[in-house]
Amino acid sequence: MLLPLFGTTNPGCGMGGVGGGVGREACCGVGREACCMEGCGEELVKTISRMSPSRVVYVSCDPATLARDLKFFTENGYTPKEITPCDMFSGTSHVESVALIERN
């Protein structure tokens, strides 16, 4: 589990691809320590920002959508603290990225 690496053991949210939709992955309760998610979009970023977790662990397989969503998080009171690329598919051009985003 990634969360202990980011200083928390209370995720308060599931992890799964959401492709821009607001589904069960947006289940963080207000005051939770962290939200762990994969992919999203502007509407889900706004929803998570309203729920106000102190940390978001964001997993992305696309650098372009990661950049887009980090911009949305920044506009909604969060700051990217660390981004770690993970080569899970060696021999291909695909790279997963894990970002730690914290509320300002």
Beta bridge partners of 82: 100
Q: How far is 97 from 104, CA to CA, in rounded Å? A: 22
Where helices occur in 15-62 by DSSP H, the ranges are: 42-51
Q: Return the sign of the alpha-carbon dihedral for residues 38, 57, 4, 14.
A: negative
Beta bridge partners of 50: none
- Give residue-wise pLDDT tens across range 71-92: 989 998 999 999 999 888 888 8
Q: Say which of 27, 40, 61, 86 is annotated catalytic.
A: 61
Question: Is 36 among the catalytic positions?
Answer: no
Q: How far is 89 from 22, CA to CA, in rounded Å? A: 28
Higher pLDDT, 91 or 51: 91
H/E run at residue 2:
none
Higher pLDDT, 29 or 4: 4
pTM above 0.75, yes or no: no
Q: How far is 96 from 54, CA to CA, in rounded Å? A: 23
